[in-house]
Structure 1
Amino acid sequence: MVVRSEAAPPTPWSKALAEPRIDETAYVHSFSNIIGDVWVGPDVLVAPGTSIRADEGAPFAIGEGTNIQDGVVIHGLEEGRVVGEDQKEYSVWIGEDTCITHMALIHGPCYIGKHCFIGFRSTVFNARVGDDCIVMMHALIQDVEIPQGKYIPSGSVITNQQQADRLPDVQESDRKFAHHVVEINEALRAGYKCAKDANCITQVRKEGKSHQTTSNGNGARVQQQTLSNNGKGENRTNKGGTILKTEAIEQVRHLLRQGYQIGTEHADKRRFSRNSWQNCAPIKDQQERNVIAALEACLVEHAGEYVRLIGIDPRARRRVSEMTIQTPEDQPSQSYSSGNGSSYRPASRQSNPSYASGGVSNGQLDRNVTEQVRSLLNQGYQIGVEHADKRRFSRNSWQNGAPIQSRQVSGAVSELEACLAEYSGEYVRLIGIDPKARRRVLELLIQEPGQNGTTQPASGGGQRTSGQSHQQGQPQAGGEIAEQVRSLVNQGYNIGVEYADQRRFRRNSWQNAGQLKGNANQVLSELNRHLAEHPKDYVRLVGVDPKAKRRVVETLIQQPGQGSNNGVSASTGAASATDQRSSGQRQNGARSNSKLDQNTVQQVRNLLQQGYQIGTEHADKRRFSRNSWQSCSPIESTREGEVLSALEGCLADHQGEYVRLVGIDPKAKRRVLETTIQQPA
Structure 2
Amino acid sequence: MAVRSPAAPPTPAPSIGEPKIHETAYVHSFSNIVGDVRIGADVLVSPGTSITADKGHPFIIGDGTNIQDGVVIHGLDRGRVVGDDNNSYSVWVGKNVSITHMALIHGPAYIGDNCFIGFRSTVFNARIGSGCIVMMHALIQDVEVPAGKYVPSGSVIVNQQQADNLPDVQESDMKFATHIVGINDALRSDYQQADKFTPVKSVREEISKGGDRMIQYNNRTSYSSTSSINEEVQDQIRNLLAQGYRIGMEHADARRFQTSSWQSCAPIESKREADVFRELESCLDEHQGEYVRLLGIDTKSRKRVLESIIQRPGDRPGDGRVTSSASSGFKSSYSSNSSYSSSGSSKLSPETVDQVRHILSQGYKVGTEHADKRRFQTSSWQSCSPIDSKQESTVIAALEECMDNHSGEYVRLIGIDTKSKRRTLEAIIQRPDGNNQSTTTSSSNGYRPAASKPQEQSYSNYSSSSSSLSSEVADQVRQLLAQGYTISTEYADERRFKTSSWQSGGVIQTKQQSQVMAELENRSAEQRNAYVRLIGIDPKAKRRVVEMIIQRPGK
Superposition TM-score, scaled by structure 1 size: 0.36
Answer 1 or 2: which has greater helix percent. 1
Superposition TM-score, scaled by structure 2 size: 0.42
Give 1 or 2 for the bigger CA radius of gyration.
Answer: 1
